[in-house]
Structures are given as structure tokens and as C-alpha cells.
């Protein structure tokens, strides 16, 4: 039985290169390199006062080919210690939310509006958010995702340029000003832990999102 190499040879195509072993470690992924360079820049960032109180920067984590991007508010104590987003109790609840959408943490990209923990877990100040704004926009451009979920009021207000309450922002479609990527607002998992009665509303938000994804053929799997 002829192999694909036989057919290629009959067509006059040199197949020697197909048999060579390639060391992919020598190849550079522009997208990955860009984010790596950006992460190095964030590591040395001193644009705001959070640089003086942080333990580690929390840049972001997940798949660089993700079709779903999660943007939270700010790192907490656990995230500051480990340098990874959503690793505490709120992170476990986020994993459950993602599971209900048939995706896992490994298949999404997760970051925050600011990359350093605000003292005592307070909300980040406007100037702190603005200091990280370019970093976040560059992450969005690099990941080139299909859908962005904004977790909580801080992320929603920042990304939408709106001061409206969460009740007015949920179950609506907004578009990122640079990439036109659809953005959907969810309650922050930390808020749901403090207000368990709102978990039912989260389920409605999930169903709304899944319906939008299906109707607009923008699979996140």
C-alpha cells in the first residue's frame, strides 16, 4: 500500500524534510513570546503603589489559544502568595462555574484588571486600574479569544466604562473597544460566597451565555 510519501514523490515533491526530526524548542511562538515579554515588564512594574506591597505579581494563566477569557478584579491573599489567579475559595467556585459551562481552567485564560494585590483585599483604586490598563489590553489582543467574561463590578465598570450596578449589566452583550470581542458580565465568585442566595442568578447568567454562544456559533470548547 502506498504511503503519503509515495504519492508526494510521484508528484515530484522532495519528502526528505518530512523525515527530519525537528527541535521545536528552537522555534519561537510570537504570541507566547509577546506575553512572556509583557510578563517580564509587569514583573518590574512600579507604576503604582501596589508594587511596594505585593509579594508576587499575578499576571495571568491558562491556554494561549483559549476561546474564553476570564477577567477578574484583583489578586487576593492566596493569589499574591502563589502568583496565580483564582487559587483560593473563589477559585474553586470559578472552577465549578466553568465546569457547568463544559470547560476547564486549562482551556481558558484567566487574569485580572490589576496584577498586584491591593492591601487588605480592598478594591483597586482607579489610578491602579489605569496603571495596568495597557497590560490588560495587550493580553486581550494576544489571546484573541471569542468571548470575555467579566467577573464582578470592578472588572465590569473598568472594561465597559460604566458605573451602572451589576443588575443593569448582567445578561447583556458588550464589545471590547479594541478587538470587538463580545463581553458578558458575571457576579464575582467571592461575592457569591458572601451571598449564596445569588448563586441562582449566576445559573441564569450561565444559561444566557451558553445560549448566546450557541446562537452565534462562537464555541468556547
Query: pLDDT by residue (tens digit) across 123-171?
Result: 999 999 999 999 999 999 999 899 999 999 999 999 999 999 999 999 9
- Which superfamily does 28-215 belong to? Uracil-DNA glycosylase-like domain (3.40.470.10)
- Collapsed DSSP state (helix, strand, coil) of residue 109: strand
Residues in the chain: 221
pLDDT digits (tens, 9 = 90+) for 162-219: 999 999 999 999 999 999 999 999 999 999 999 999 999 999 999 999 999 999 987 7
Cα–Cα–Cα angle for 72, 77, 81, nearest 5°? Answer: 105
Can you tell me the mean pLDDT for 57-68? 95
Residue 217 makes CB contacts below 8 A (sequence gap 6+) with none
Q: Which of 192, 212, 214, 215 is CA-nearest to residue 202?
A: 192
pTM here is 0.83
Q: Average pLDDT over the chain, rounded to whole?
A: 87
Gap between the Cα atoms of 51 and 192, Å rounded: 29
What are φ and ψ of residue 110, in 5° steps?
Answer: -120, 135
For residue 33, pLDDT over 90 is answered with no
Element (H, E) at 209: helix 199-215
Residue 182 and residue 218 in contact, taking contact as beta carbons nearer than 8 Å? yes
pLDDT value of residue 34: 81
For residue 59, pLDDT over 90 is answered with yes
Q: Which three cell numbers stand for residue 189?
A: 465568585
- Collapsed DSSP state (helix, strand, coil) of residue 121: helix
How crowded is the C-beta side of 75, counted as CA atoms within 13 Å?
A: 28
Residue 131 makes CB contacts below 8 A (sequence gap 6+) with 45, 47, 48, 114
For residue 15, pLDDT over 50 is answered with no
Annotated domain spans of the chain: 28-215
In this structure, the number of other CB atoms found within 10 A of the CB of residue 204 comes to 11
Q: Which three cell numbers stand for residue 97?
A: 462555574
Residue 79 makes CB contacts below 8 A (sequence gap 6+) with 58, 85, 86, 87, 88, 117
Amino acid at each position: 500500500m502506498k504511503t503519503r510519501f509515495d504519492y508526494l514523490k510521484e508528484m515530484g515533491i522532495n519528502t526528505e524534510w518530512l523525515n527530519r526530526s525537528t527541535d521545536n524548542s528552537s522555534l519561537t511562538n510570537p504570541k507566547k513570546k509577546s506575553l512572556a515579554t509583557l510578563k517580564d515588564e509587569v514583573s518590574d512594574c512600579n507604576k503604582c503603589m501596589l508594587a511596594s506591597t505585593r509579594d508576587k505579581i499575578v499576571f495571568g494563566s491558562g491556554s494561549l489559544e483559549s476561546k474564553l477569557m476570564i477577567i477578574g478584579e484583583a489578586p487576593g491573599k492566596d493569589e499574591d502568595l502563589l502568583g496565580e489567579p483564582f487559587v483560593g475559595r473563589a477559585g474553586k467556585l470559578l472552577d465549578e462555574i466553568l465546569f457547568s459551562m463544559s470547560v476547564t481552567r486549562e482551556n481558558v485564560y484567566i487574569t485580572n484588571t490589576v496584577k498586584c494585590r491591593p492591601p487588605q483585599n480592598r478594591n483597586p483604586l482607579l489610578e491602579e486600574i489605569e496603571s495596568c490598563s495597557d497590560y490588560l489590553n495587550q493580553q486581550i489582543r494576544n489571546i484573541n479569544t471569542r468571548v470575555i467574561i467579566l467577573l464582578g463590578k470592578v472588572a465590569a465598570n473598568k472594561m465597559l466604562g460604566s458605573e451602572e450596578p451589576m443588575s443593569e449589566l448582567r445578561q447583556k452583550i458588550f464589545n471590547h473597544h479594541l478587538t470587538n470581542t463580545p463581553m458578558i458580565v458575571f457576579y464575582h465568585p467571592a461575592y457569591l460566597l458572601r451571598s449564596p442566595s445569588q448563586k441562582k442568578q449566576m445559573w441564569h447568567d450561565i444559561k444566557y451565555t451558553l445560549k448566546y454562544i450557541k446562537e452565534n456559533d462562537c464555541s468556547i470548547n
